[in-house]
Structure 1
Amino acid sequence: MREQEDRERHRELAQFLRTRRARMTPERAGLPAEGRRRTPGLRRSEVALLAGISVDWYTWLEQGRNIQVSSQVLESIAHALQLDADEKKHLFLLALQQYPAASTQAAPEISPALQRFLDLQGTSPAYVTDQRLNIVAWNRIASMLYGGYETMSARERNSVWRTFTSPDVRELLREHWESHARHRLAQFRASYAKYAGDPWWTDMIGELSRTSEEFRAWWPRHDVLNGPEGEKINYHRAVGKLTFEQVSFIMSDEPNLTVTLNVPAADGDTVAKLSKLLKE
Protein backbone atom coordinates (compact mmCIF):
# COMPACT_ATOMS: atom_id res chain seq x y z
CA MET A 1 0.00 0.00 0.00
CA ARG A 2 2.80 2.46 0.91
CA GLU A 3 4.64 1.72 -2.35
CA GLN A 4 1.46 2.41 -4.32
CA GLU A 5 0.94 5.70 -2.48
CA ASP A 6 4.56 6.72 -3.15
CA ARG A 7 4.18 5.95 -6.87
CA GLU A 8 1.03 8.05 -7.01
CA ARG A 9 2.73 10.89 -5.15
CA HIS A 10 5.68 10.86 -7.57
CA ARG A 11 3.31 10.76 -10.55
CA GLU A 12 1.39 13.71 -9.13
CA LEU A 13 4.65 15.63 -8.63
CA ALA A 14 5.72 14.92 -12.21
CA GLN A 15 2.41 16.13 -13.66
CA PHE A 16 2.43 19.23 -11.47
CA LEU A 17 5.93 20.20 -12.62
CA ARG A 18 5.02 19.67 -16.27
CA THR A 19 1.92 21.88 -16.03
CA ARG A 20 3.91 24.65 -14.32
CA ARG A 21 6.73 24.45 -16.85
CA ALA A 22 4.22 24.60 -19.72
CA ARG A 23 2.70 27.86 -18.51
CA MET A 24 6.08 29.66 -18.37
CA THR A 25 7.54 31.58 -21.29
CA PRO A 26 11.18 32.48 -21.98
CA GLU A 27 10.27 36.16 -21.68
CA ARG A 28 8.65 35.68 -18.28
CA ALA A 29 11.65 33.67 -17.12
CA GLY A 30 14.12 36.29 -18.36
CA LEU A 31 15.51 34.10 -21.14
CA PRO A 32 16.05 35.17 -24.75
CA ALA A 33 13.27 34.16 -27.16
CA GLU A 34 14.36 31.81 -29.94
CA GLY A 35 11.52 31.91 -32.45
CA ARG A 36 8.47 29.66 -32.46
CA ARG A 37 8.46 26.51 -30.33
CA ARG A 38 6.71 23.26 -31.10
CA THR A 39 5.37 22.98 -27.53
CA PRO A 40 4.35 25.71 -25.06
CA GLY A 41 6.44 26.71 -22.09
CA LEU A 42 10.06 26.29 -21.15
CA ARG A 43 12.27 23.36 -22.05
CA ARG A 44 13.43 21.07 -19.25
CA SER A 45 16.98 22.23 -19.86
CA GLU A 46 15.90 25.84 -19.31
CA VAL A 47 14.20 25.06 -15.99
CA ALA A 48 17.31 23.16 -14.90
CA LEU A 49 19.49 26.12 -15.90
CA LEU A 50 17.32 28.58 -13.99
CA ALA A 51 17.25 26.30 -10.93
CA GLY A 52 20.99 25.57 -11.04
CA ILE A 53 20.56 21.79 -11.18
CA SER A 54 21.42 19.15 -13.76
CA VAL A 55 19.06 18.45 -16.64
CA ASP A 56 19.06 14.75 -15.75
CA TRP A 57 18.02 15.49 -12.17
CA TYR A 58 15.14 17.70 -13.22
CA THR A 59 14.09 15.23 -15.94
CA TRP A 60 13.92 12.42 -13.38
CA LEU A 61 11.55 14.52 -11.26
CA GLU A 62 9.26 15.08 -14.27
CA GLN A 63 9.39 11.36 -15.02
CA GLY A 64 8.13 10.56 -11.53
CA ARG A 65 11.25 8.68 -10.49
CA ASN A 66 11.79 7.79 -6.84
CA ILE A 67 14.64 10.17 -6.05
CA GLN A 68 15.41 12.21 -2.96
CA VAL A 69 15.64 15.97 -3.34
CA SER A 70 16.75 18.57 -0.83
CA SER A 71 14.73 21.56 0.31
CA GLN A 72 17.36 23.76 -1.37
CA VAL A 73 16.70 22.11 -4.74
CA LEU A 74 12.94 22.49 -4.29
CA GLU A 75 13.38 26.15 -3.39
CA SER A 76 15.37 26.64 -6.59
CA ILE A 77 12.77 24.89 -8.73
CA ALA A 78 9.95 26.91 -7.11
CA HIS A 79 11.85 30.11 -7.89
CA ALA A 80 12.58 29.05 -11.48
CA LEU A 81 8.91 28.20 -12.12
CA GLN A 82 7.74 31.33 -10.25
CA LEU A 83 5.39 29.35 -8.02
CA ASP A 84 3.13 31.26 -5.65
CA ALA A 85 2.91 30.39 -1.94
CA ASP A 86 0.21 27.74 -2.35
CA GLU A 87 1.98 26.11 -5.30
CA LYS A 88 5.30 26.08 -3.45
CA LYS A 89 3.67 24.37 -0.44
CA HIS A 90 2.09 21.88 -2.84
CA LEU A 91 5.50 21.14 -4.40
CA PHE A 92 7.11 20.51 -1.01
CA LEU A 93 4.31 18.20 0.11
CA LEU A 94 4.45 16.16 -3.07
CA ALA A 95 8.23 15.85 -2.86
CA LEU A 96 7.91 14.48 0.73
CA GLN A 97 9.73 17.32 2.38
CA GLN A 98 7.14 17.03 5.13
CA TYR A 99 5.96 13.78 6.61
CA PRO A 100 2.84 12.59 4.79
CA ALA A 101 -0.32 12.49 6.88
CA ALA A 102 -1.75 9.15 7.91
CA SER A 103 -3.55 7.34 5.09
CA THR A 104 -6.69 6.90 7.13
CA GLN A 105 -8.35 9.84 8.81
CA ALA A 106 -10.27 9.41 12.02
CA ALA A 107 -13.63 11.11 12.07
CA PRO A 108 -13.12 14.54 13.66
CA GLU A 109 -14.72 15.28 17.00
CA ILE A 110 -16.79 18.45 17.10
CA SER A 111 -16.66 19.83 20.63
CA PRO A 112 -19.81 21.24 22.25
CA ALA A 113 -18.05 24.61 22.43
CA LEU A 114 -17.39 24.63 18.67
CA GLN A 115 -21.01 23.71 17.93
CA ARG A 116 -22.21 26.50 20.24
CA PHE A 117 -19.91 28.91 18.40
CA LEU A 118 -21.52 27.93 15.08
CA ASP A 119 -25.02 28.22 16.52
CA LEU A 120 -24.29 31.70 17.91
CA GLN A 121 -23.48 33.06 14.43
CA GLY A 122 -27.19 33.69 13.83
CA THR A 123 -27.65 34.97 10.27
CA SER A 124 -24.07 34.09 9.25
CA PRO A 125 -24.07 30.62 7.63
CA ALA A 126 -21.22 28.76 9.33
CA TYR A 127 -19.79 25.29 8.85
CA VAL A 128 -16.70 23.18 9.53
CA THR A 129 -14.81 21.13 6.93
CA ASP A 130 -12.16 18.45 7.32
CA GLN A 131 -9.19 18.02 4.97
CA ARG A 132 -11.31 16.02 2.54
CA LEU A 133 -13.64 19.06 2.36
CA ASN A 134 -16.44 17.12 4.05
CA ILE A 135 -18.92 19.31 5.92
CA VAL A 136 -18.69 17.89 9.47
CA ALA A 137 -20.58 20.56 11.45
CA TRP A 138 -22.89 23.48 10.63
CA ASN A 139 -25.42 25.91 12.05
CA ARG A 140 -29.13 26.14 11.28
CA ILE A 141 -28.98 28.91 8.68
CA ALA A 142 -26.21 27.10 6.76
CA SER A 143 -28.36 23.98 6.55
CA MET A 144 -31.42 25.98 5.48
CA LEU A 145 -29.48 27.84 2.80
CA TYR A 146 -27.29 25.03 1.44
CA GLY A 147 -29.74 22.17 1.43
CA GLY A 148 -30.31 20.27 4.68
CA TYR A 149 -27.06 18.66 5.82
CA GLU A 150 -28.97 16.61 8.41
CA THR A 151 -30.58 14.45 5.72
CA MET A 152 -27.58 14.15 3.37
CA SER A 153 -25.37 11.10 3.00
CA ALA A 154 -21.67 11.38 3.86
CA ARG A 155 -20.81 11.74 0.18
CA GLU A 156 -23.44 14.45 -0.36
CA ARG A 157 -21.88 16.40 2.52
CA ASN A 158 -18.57 16.48 0.67
CA SER A 159 -18.47 20.02 -0.70
CA VAL A 160 -16.53 19.06 -3.84
CA TRP A 161 -18.91 16.23 -4.71
CA ARG A 162 -21.92 18.46 -4.08
CA THR A 163 -20.47 21.36 -6.08
CA PHE A 164 -19.93 19.24 -9.19
CA THR A 165 -23.00 16.97 -9.04
CA SER A 166 -25.87 18.90 -7.42
CA PRO A 167 -28.32 20.91 -9.57
CA ASP A 168 -29.32 22.74 -6.38
CA VAL A 169 -25.80 24.14 -5.98
CA ARG A 170 -25.78 25.34 -9.59
CA GLU A 171 -29.09 27.11 -9.00
CA LEU A 172 -27.81 28.58 -5.72
CA LEU A 173 -24.74 30.06 -7.44
CA ARG A 174 -26.03 30.61 -11.01
CA GLU A 175 -23.49 32.68 -12.99
CA HIS A 176 -20.97 32.36 -10.13
CA TRP A 177 -20.95 28.56 -10.20
CA GLU A 178 -17.83 28.14 -12.34
CA SER A 179 -15.62 30.43 -10.27
CA HIS A 180 -16.82 28.71 -7.10
CA ALA A 181 -16.27 25.25 -8.57
CA ARG A 182 -12.76 26.07 -9.76
CA HIS A 183 -11.91 27.51 -6.34
CA ARG A 184 -13.26 24.47 -4.52
CA LEU A 185 -11.41 22.11 -6.87
CA ALA A 186 -8.12 23.99 -6.32
CA GLN A 187 -8.58 23.61 -2.55
CA PHE A 188 -9.26 19.90 -3.05
CA ARG A 189 -6.12 19.49 -5.17
CA ALA A 190 -4.02 21.31 -2.55
CA SER A 191 -5.25 18.94 0.19
CA TYR A 192 -4.67 15.93 -2.07
CA ALA A 193 -0.89 16.50 -1.91
CA LYS A 194 -0.93 15.08 1.64
CA TYR A 195 -2.93 12.00 0.68
CA ALA A 196 -1.92 11.15 -2.91
CA GLY A 197 -2.61 7.45 -3.47
CA ASP A 198 -4.95 7.11 -0.49
CA PRO A 199 -7.91 4.87 -1.48
CA TRP A 200 -10.60 7.35 -0.37
CA TRP A 201 -9.11 10.09 -2.54
CA THR A 202 -8.52 7.75 -5.47
CA ASP A 203 -12.14 6.58 -5.37
CA MET A 204 -13.54 10.10 -5.05
CA ILE A 205 -11.42 11.48 -7.90
CA GLY A 206 -12.36 8.54 -10.12
CA GLU A 207 -16.07 8.88 -9.40
CA LEU A 208 -16.05 12.64 -9.93
CA SER A 209 -14.18 12.17 -13.21
CA ARG A 210 -16.86 9.77 -14.42
CA THR A 211 -19.73 11.92 -13.18
CA SER A 212 -18.73 15.50 -14.00
CA GLU A 213 -17.50 16.74 -17.36
CA GLU A 214 -16.11 19.92 -15.75
CA PHE A 215 -14.20 18.02 -13.07
CA ARG A 216 -12.75 15.72 -15.74
CA ALA A 217 -11.59 18.72 -17.78
CA TRP A 218 -10.20 20.82 -14.91
CA TRP A 219 -8.53 18.18 -12.70
CA PRO A 220 -5.48 17.77 -15.01
CA ARG A 221 -4.73 21.51 -14.71
CA HIS A 222 -3.24 20.98 -11.22
CA ASP A 223 -4.49 24.33 -9.92
CA VAL A 224 -3.90 24.64 -6.17
CA LEU A 225 -5.26 27.20 -3.74
CA ASN A 226 -5.96 27.72 -0.06
CA GLY A 227 -8.09 30.32 1.64
CA PRO A 228 -11.62 31.75 1.48
CA GLU A 229 -13.44 32.96 -1.62
CA GLY A 230 -13.96 36.59 -0.56
CA GLU A 231 -17.31 37.95 -1.77
CA LYS A 232 -19.89 35.23 -2.28
CA ILE A 233 -23.31 35.64 -3.93
CA ASN A 234 -26.10 33.09 -3.49
CA TYR A 235 -29.66 32.97 -4.82
CA HIS A 236 -32.27 31.41 -2.54
CA ARG A 237 -35.59 30.38 -4.05
CA ALA A 238 -37.59 32.01 -1.22
CA VAL A 239 -35.69 35.21 -0.39
CA GLY A 240 -33.67 35.94 -3.53
CA LYS A 241 -30.14 37.34 -3.82
CA LEU A 242 -27.82 37.08 -0.80
CA THR A 243 -24.37 38.65 -0.55
CA PHE A 244 -21.65 37.53 1.85
CA GLU A 245 -18.00 38.03 2.69
CA GLN A 246 -16.35 34.71 3.45
CA VAL A 247 -13.97 34.29 6.39
CA SER A 248 -12.21 31.06 7.34
CA PHE A 249 -9.71 29.91 9.92
CA ILE A 250 -8.05 26.68 11.04
CA MET A 251 -8.73 25.40 14.55
CA SER A 252 -5.65 25.82 16.75
CA ASP A 253 -6.37 22.60 18.67
CA GLU A 254 -7.51 20.62 15.60
CA PRO A 255 -5.49 21.69 12.52
CA ASN A 256 -7.39 19.31 10.24
CA LEU A 257 -10.58 21.33 10.72
CA THR A 258 -11.40 24.62 8.99
CA VAL A 259 -14.21 26.89 10.18
CA THR A 260 -15.90 28.98 7.48
CA LEU A 261 -18.24 31.90 8.10
CA ASN A 262 -20.28 33.59 5.39
CA VAL A 263 -20.79 37.04 6.90
CA PRO A 264 -23.76 38.96 5.43
CA ALA A 265 -22.94 42.14 3.52
CA ALA A 266 -22.93 45.36 5.53
CA ASP A 267 -25.91 46.90 3.72
CA GLY A 268 -28.33 44.94 5.94
CA ASP A 269 -30.43 43.53 3.09
CA THR A 270 -29.00 40.02 3.37
CA VAL A 271 -29.40 39.99 7.17
CA ALA A 272 -33.07 40.97 6.81
CA LYS A 273 -33.71 38.22 4.27
CA LEU A 274 -31.96 35.55 6.36
CA SER A 275 -33.81 36.68 9.49
CA LYS A 276 -37.07 36.19 7.61
CA LEU A 277 -35.92 32.75 6.50
CA LEU A 278 -35.09 31.74 10.08
CA LYS A 279 -38.60 32.69 11.25
CA GLU A 280 -40.32 30.45 8.73
Structure 2
Amino acid sequence: MDTEIAIRDFLISRRTKLRPEDLGLPRQGMRRVRGLRREEVAALANVSVDQYIRLERGQASRVSDAVVDAVAHALRLTPGECRYLRSLARPAAASPEAGAGRPVRESVQRFLDSMCDTPAYLVGRGGAILAWNRMAVLVFVDFARVPTARRTVGLLVFTDPRARLLYVDWEVKAREAVAYLRTESGKRPHDAALSRQIEELAEASADFRRLWAAQLVLDHTHDITHLNRPPVGTLDLTWEAFQPKGDPDELVIVYTAANARTAAALGRLA
Protein backbone atom coordinates (compact mmCIF):
# COMPACT_ATOMS: atom_id res chain seq x y z
CA MET A 1 0.00 0.00 0.00
CA ASP A 2 1.19 3.50 -0.83
CA THR A 3 1.11 5.22 2.56
CA GLU A 4 1.32 8.71 1.06
CA ILE A 5 -1.89 8.16 -0.91
CA ALA A 6 -3.51 6.44 2.08
CA ILE A 7 -2.79 9.39 4.40
CA ARG A 8 -4.04 11.88 1.81
CA ASP A 9 -7.27 10.04 1.13
CA PHE A 10 -7.97 9.44 4.81
CA LEU A 11 -7.40 13.04 5.93
CA ILE A 12 -9.42 14.46 3.05
CA SER A 13 -12.29 12.09 3.83
CA ARG A 14 -12.32 13.16 7.46
CA ARG A 15 -12.07 16.92 6.97
CA THR A 16 -14.85 16.86 4.35
CA LYS A 17 -17.18 15.33 6.96
CA LEU A 18 -16.82 18.26 9.37
CA ARG A 19 -18.73 21.54 9.16
CA PRO A 20 -17.08 24.79 10.29
CA GLU A 21 -20.10 25.89 12.32
CA ASP A 22 -20.07 22.65 14.30
CA LEU A 23 -16.53 23.43 15.44
CA GLY A 24 -17.04 27.07 16.33
CA LEU A 25 -15.55 28.43 13.12
CA PRO A 26 -17.21 31.26 11.16
CA ARG A 27 -18.76 30.24 7.87
CA GLN A 28 -17.76 33.08 5.59
CA GLY A 29 -18.84 33.54 1.97
CA MET A 30 -19.16 30.89 -0.69
CA ARG A 31 -17.26 27.68 -0.03
CA ARG A 32 -15.74 25.77 -2.94
CA VAL A 33 -14.99 22.66 -0.86
CA ARG A 34 -17.08 20.42 1.35
CA GLY A 35 -16.25 20.39 5.02
CA LEU A 36 -13.16 22.11 6.36
CA ARG A 37 -10.48 23.87 4.36
CA ARG A 38 -6.86 22.94 4.97
CA GLU A 39 -6.16 26.22 6.72
CA GLU A 40 -9.11 25.65 9.04
CA VAL A 41 -7.78 22.24 10.07
CA ALA A 42 -4.37 23.82 10.68
CA ALA A 43 -5.94 26.54 12.84
CA LEU A 44 -7.91 24.03 14.90
CA ALA A 45 -4.77 21.91 15.35
CA ASN A 46 -2.64 24.97 16.19
CA VAL A 47 -0.09 24.01 13.54
CA SER A 48 1.08 25.89 10.48
CA VAL A 49 -0.78 25.50 7.19
CA ASP A 50 2.48 24.25 5.67
CA GLN A 51 2.76 21.51 8.30
CA TYR A 52 -0.78 20.33 7.67
CA ILE A 53 -0.30 20.36 3.89
CA ARG A 54 2.86 18.26 4.27
CA LEU A 55 0.93 15.72 6.31
CA GLU A 56 -2.04 15.61 3.95
CA ARG A 57 0.35 15.09 1.04
CA GLY A 58 1.64 12.03 2.86
CA GLN A 59 4.97 13.61 3.79
CA ALA A 60 4.59 12.43 7.38
CA SER A 61 8.33 12.06 7.90
CA ARG A 62 8.57 15.85 7.62
CA VAL A 63 6.24 16.53 10.56
CA SER A 64 6.52 15.61 14.24
CA ASP A 65 4.41 13.17 16.23
CA ALA A 66 2.93 16.18 18.01
CA VAL A 67 1.63 17.53 14.69
CA VAL A 68 0.09 14.17 13.79
CA ASP A 69 -1.66 13.97 17.17
CA ALA A 70 -2.83 17.60 16.98
CA VAL A 71 -4.38 17.04 13.56
CA ALA A 72 -6.07 13.87 14.78
CA HIS A 73 -7.59 15.82 17.68
CA ALA A 74 -8.66 18.70 15.40
CA LEU A 75 -10.45 16.29 13.05
CA ARG A 76 -12.25 14.64 15.98
CA LEU A 77 -10.88 11.23 15.08
CA THR A 78 -12.03 8.22 17.08
CA PRO A 79 -9.42 6.19 18.99
CA GLY A 80 -9.33 3.62 16.18
CA GLU A 81 -8.92 6.33 13.55
CA CYS A 82 -6.11 7.90 15.58
CA ARG A 83 -4.28 4.58 15.69
CA TYR A 84 -4.77 4.16 11.94
CA LEU A 85 -3.37 7.62 11.18
CA ARG A 86 -0.37 7.05 13.44
CA SER A 87 0.35 3.68 11.84
CA LEU A 88 0.32 5.29 8.39
CA ALA A 89 2.46 8.21 9.52
CA ARG A 90 4.98 5.93 11.23
CA PRO A 91 4.74 2.64 9.32
CA ALA A 92 6.35 -0.42 10.81
CA ALA A 93 9.23 -2.01 8.96
CA ALA A 94 8.34 -4.80 6.58
CA SER A 95 8.30 -8.18 8.32
CA PRO A 96 8.17 -11.75 7.03
CA GLU A 97 4.71 -12.78 5.91
CA ALA A 98 2.91 -15.00 8.37
CA GLY A 99 -0.50 -16.53 8.76
CA ALA A 100 -1.86 -19.69 7.22
CA GLY A 101 1.58 -21.27 6.82
CA ARG A 102 2.46 -21.15 10.53
CA PRO A 103 1.06 -23.96 12.70
CA VAL A 104 -1.43 -22.98 15.38
CA ARG A 105 -0.23 -23.67 18.90
CA GLU A 106 -1.80 -26.82 20.32
CA SER A 107 -2.79 -24.93 23.45
CA VAL A 108 -4.80 -22.43 21.38
CA GLN A 109 -6.63 -25.23 19.55
CA ARG A 110 -7.39 -26.93 22.87
CA PHE A 111 -8.71 -23.62 24.20
CA LEU A 112 -11.08 -23.33 21.22
CA ASP A 113 -12.20 -26.95 21.53
CA SER A 114 -12.92 -26.52 25.24
CA MET A 115 -15.81 -24.19 24.39
CA CYS A 116 -18.35 -26.91 23.65
CA ASP A 117 -21.41 -24.69 23.16
CA THR A 118 -19.67 -21.46 22.08
CA PRO A 119 -18.58 -20.71 18.49
CA ALA A 120 -15.00 -19.43 18.36
CA TYR A 121 -12.20 -19.14 15.83
CA LEU A 122 -8.70 -17.76 15.51
CA VAL A 123 -7.98 -14.96 13.03
CA GLY A 124 -4.45 -14.22 11.87
CA ARG A 125 -2.76 -11.63 9.72
CA GLY A 126 -4.94 -10.27 6.93
CA GLY A 127 -8.06 -11.91 8.34
CA ALA A 128 -6.90 -15.48 7.69
CA ILE A 129 -9.00 -17.94 9.69
CA LEU A 130 -6.39 -20.23 11.18
CA ALA A 131 -8.31 -22.44 13.62
CA TRP A 132 -11.87 -23.01 14.83
CA ASN A 133 -14.00 -25.24 17.02
CA ARG A 134 -16.92 -27.53 16.28
CA MET A 135 -19.55 -24.93 17.15
CA ALA A 136 -18.02 -22.44 14.72
CA VAL A 137 -18.50 -25.02 11.96
CA LEU A 138 -22.14 -25.59 12.97
CA VAL A 139 -22.93 -21.87 13.20
CA PHE A 140 -20.87 -20.38 10.34
CA VAL A 141 -19.37 -22.71 7.74
CA ASP A 142 -17.22 -25.82 7.59
CA PHE A 143 -13.94 -23.93 7.34
CA ALA A 144 -12.02 -27.11 6.58
CA ARG A 145 -13.89 -27.36 3.26
CA VAL A 146 -12.84 -23.84 2.25
CA PRO A 147 -9.49 -23.74 0.40
CA THR A 148 -6.82 -22.25 2.63
CA ALA A 149 -6.15 -19.36 0.23
CA ARG A 150 -9.87 -18.43 0.32
CA ARG A 151 -10.31 -18.85 4.06
CA THR A 152 -10.17 -15.18 5.06
CA VAL A 153 -12.80 -12.94 6.61
CA GLY A 154 -12.82 -10.61 3.61
CA LEU A 155 -13.11 -13.29 0.94
CA LEU A 156 -15.79 -15.21 2.82
CA VAL A 157 -17.91 -12.11 3.37
CA PHE A 158 -17.64 -10.65 -0.13
CA THR A 159 -17.16 -13.61 -2.48
CA ASP A 160 -18.98 -16.52 -0.79
CA PRO A 161 -22.73 -16.26 -1.58
CA ARG A 162 -23.55 -18.07 1.67
CA ALA A 163 -22.55 -14.98 3.64
CA ARG A 164 -25.48 -12.92 2.37
CA LEU A 165 -27.85 -15.65 3.54
CA LEU A 166 -26.11 -16.15 6.87
CA TYR A 167 -25.97 -12.55 8.14
CA VAL A 168 -29.33 -10.93 8.87
CA ASP A 169 -27.77 -7.54 8.09
CA TRP A 170 -25.00 -8.37 5.64
CA GLU A 171 -24.13 -4.69 5.19
CA VAL A 172 -23.15 -4.40 8.85
CA LYS A 173 -20.85 -7.41 8.58
CA ALA A 174 -19.41 -6.11 5.31
CA ARG A 175 -18.58 -2.74 6.87
CA GLU A 176 -16.94 -4.51 9.80
CA ALA A 177 -14.84 -6.65 7.45
CA VAL A 178 -13.72 -3.64 5.40
CA ALA A 179 -12.87 -1.65 8.53
CA TYR A 180 -10.78 -4.58 9.77
CA LEU A 181 -8.89 -4.87 6.47
CA ARG A 182 -8.17 -1.15 6.34
CA THR A 183 -6.90 -1.21 9.91
CA GLU A 184 -4.72 -4.22 9.02
CA SER A 185 -3.36 -2.42 5.95
CA GLY A 186 -2.43 0.56 8.12
CA LYS A 187 -0.48 -1.69 10.48
CA ARG A 188 1.26 -3.53 7.64
CA PRO A 189 1.37 -1.37 4.51
CA HIS A 190 4.12 -3.55 3.02
CA ASP A 191 2.24 -6.86 3.44
CA ALA A 192 2.11 -8.19 -0.14
CA ALA A 193 -0.47 -10.90 0.60
CA LEU A 194 -2.82 -8.40 2.21
CA SER A 195 -2.44 -6.00 -0.72
CA ARG A 196 -3.25 -8.81 -3.16
CA GLN A 197 -6.35 -9.71 -1.18
CA ILE A 198 -7.61 -6.12 -1.18
CA GLU A 199 -6.98 -5.84 -4.93
CA GLU A 200 -8.87 -9.08 -5.53
CA LEU A 201 -11.81 -7.93 -3.43
CA ALA A 202 -11.92 -4.57 -5.21
CA GLU A 203 -12.00 -6.33 -8.57
CA ALA A 204 -14.62 -8.89 -7.52
CA SER A 205 -17.09 -6.78 -5.54
CA ALA A 206 -18.71 -3.40 -6.19
CA ASP A 207 -19.87 -3.40 -2.57
CA PHE A 208 -16.28 -3.76 -1.41
CA ARG A 209 -15.19 -0.86 -3.63
CA ARG A 210 -18.00 1.32 -2.24
CA LEU A 211 -17.20 0.55 1.38
CA TRP A 212 -13.42 0.77 0.89
CA ALA A 213 -13.86 4.29 -0.51
CA ALA A 214 -15.64 5.28 2.73
CA GLN A 215 -12.32 4.97 4.63
CA LEU A 216 -13.84 2.81 7.38
CA VAL A 217 -11.56 1.97 10.31
CA LEU A 218 -12.13 -0.66 13.01
CA ASP A 219 -12.93 1.01 16.30
CA HIS A 220 -14.21 -1.76 18.56
CA THR A 221 -13.37 -5.25 19.74
CA HIS A 222 -16.88 -6.34 20.68
CA ASP A 223 -20.36 -6.09 19.20
CA ILE A 224 -23.48 -8.10 18.40
CA THR A 225 -24.28 -10.00 15.23
CA HIS A 226 -27.48 -11.63 14.02
CA LEU A 227 -27.41 -14.81 11.96
CA ASN A 228 -29.92 -16.85 9.98
CA ARG A 229 -29.22 -20.46 10.94
CA PRO A 230 -31.79 -23.03 9.82
CA PRO A 231 -33.24 -25.10 11.33
CA VAL A 232 -32.96 -23.28 14.67
CA GLY A 233 -33.82 -19.80 13.33
CA THR A 234 -32.17 -16.47 14.10
CA LEU A 235 -29.17 -16.37 16.40
CA ASP A 236 -28.34 -13.20 18.32
CA LEU A 237 -24.67 -13.44 19.26
CA THR A 238 -22.40 -11.02 21.08
CA TRP A 239 -18.74 -11.32 20.14
CA GLU A 240 -15.50 -10.38 21.84
CA ALA A 241 -12.01 -10.31 20.34
CA PHE A 242 -9.08 -11.42 22.49
CA GLN A 243 -5.41 -11.27 21.60
CA PRO A 244 -3.33 -14.30 22.65
CA LYS A 245 -0.34 -13.18 24.69
CA GLY A 246 2.76 -13.03 22.54
CA ASP A 247 0.84 -13.15 19.23
CA PRO A 248 0.14 -9.54 18.13
CA ASP A 249 -1.03 -10.67 14.69
CA GLU A 250 -3.73 -13.00 16.02
CA LEU A 251 -7.19 -12.60 17.54
CA VAL A 252 -9.52 -15.14 19.09
CA ILE A 253 -13.14 -14.26 18.28
CA VAL A 254 -15.65 -15.74 20.74
CA TYR A 255 -19.43 -15.63 20.20
CA THR A 256 -21.88 -16.02 23.07
CA ALA A 257 -25.67 -16.05 23.18
CA ALA A 258 -27.21 -12.62 23.67
CA ASN A 259 -30.48 -14.04 25.03
CA ALA A 260 -32.08 -17.22 26.35
CA ARG A 261 -33.67 -18.08 23.01
CA THR A 262 -30.28 -18.06 21.27
CA ALA A 263 -28.72 -20.04 24.12
CA ALA A 264 -31.38 -22.71 23.64
CA ALA A 265 -30.82 -22.70 19.87
CA LEU A 266 -27.07 -23.15 20.31
CA GLY A 267 -27.80 -26.05 22.63
CA ARG A 268 -29.92 -27.73 19.95
CA LEU A 269 -27.16 -27.23 17.38
CA ALA A 270 -24.58 -28.68 19.74
TM-score range, shorter chain: over 0.9
Q: Which residue of 2 aligns with 1:276?
A: 268
Q: Which residue of 2 aligns with 1:92?
A: 86
How far apart, in 2, do the equivalents of 1:30 and 1:272 lie?
52
Q: In 2, are the aligned partners of 1:245 and 1:265 still within 8 Å (CA)?
A: yes
Q: Which residue of 1 aligns with 2:228?
A: 235
Aligned equivalent of 1:252, options 245, 254, 265:
245
Quote the offset at 1:22 in angstroms. Answer: 0.8
Q: In 1, are the aligned partners of 2:15 and 2:41 still within 8 Å (CA)?
A: yes
Deviates more, 1:200-209 or 1:78-87: 200-209
Q: Write out per-residue CA displacement over residues 164-213 of structure 1, whole angstroms, 9 at most, x where no aligned residue.
A: 11211110113x11011101211111111022243212211111111111
Aligned equivalent of 1:149, options 139, 143, 162:
143
Q: Which residue of 2 aligns with 1:102?
A: 95
Alignment of 1:185-224 (within 5 A): 185-224=178-217
Secondary structure class of the residue paired with 1:155? helix
Q: Which amino acid aligns with 2:164?
A: R
Aligned equivalent of 1:33, options 27, 31, 37:
27
Alignment of 1:156-171 (within 5 A): 156-171=150-165
- TM-score, normalised with respect to structure 1: 0.90
Q: In 2, are the aligned partners of 1:101 and 1:194 still within 8 Å (CA)?
A: no
Q: In 2, are the aligned partners of 1:248 and 1:261 still within 8 Å (CA)?
A: yes
How far apart, in 2, do the equivalents of 1:151 and 1:276 lie?
23
Deviates more, 1:60-69 or 1:50-59: 60-69
Q: Which amino acid aligns with 1:34?
A: Q
How far apart, in 1, do the equivalents of 2:88 and 2:96 lie?
14
Q: Which amino acid aligns with 1:149?
A: F
Deviates more, 1:164-173 or 1:48-57: 48-57
Secondary structure class of the residue paired with 2:149? coil
Q: Write out per-residue CA displacement over residues 213-264 of structure 1, whole angstroms, 9 at most, x where no aligned residue.
A: 1101111221101433522111112221111111111111212110111001
How far apart, in 2, do the equivalents of 1:154 and 1:58 lie?
43
Q: In 1, are the aligned partners of 2:38 and 2:53 still within 8 Å (CA)?
A: yes
TM-aligned CA distance change 1:198 to 1:231, over 3 Å: closer
Unaligned 5+ residue runs, structure 2? none
Unaligned 5+ residue runs, structure 1? none
Secondary structure class of the residue paired with 1:235? strand
1:137 counterpart = 2:126:
no
Q: Which amino acid aligns with 2:85?
A: L
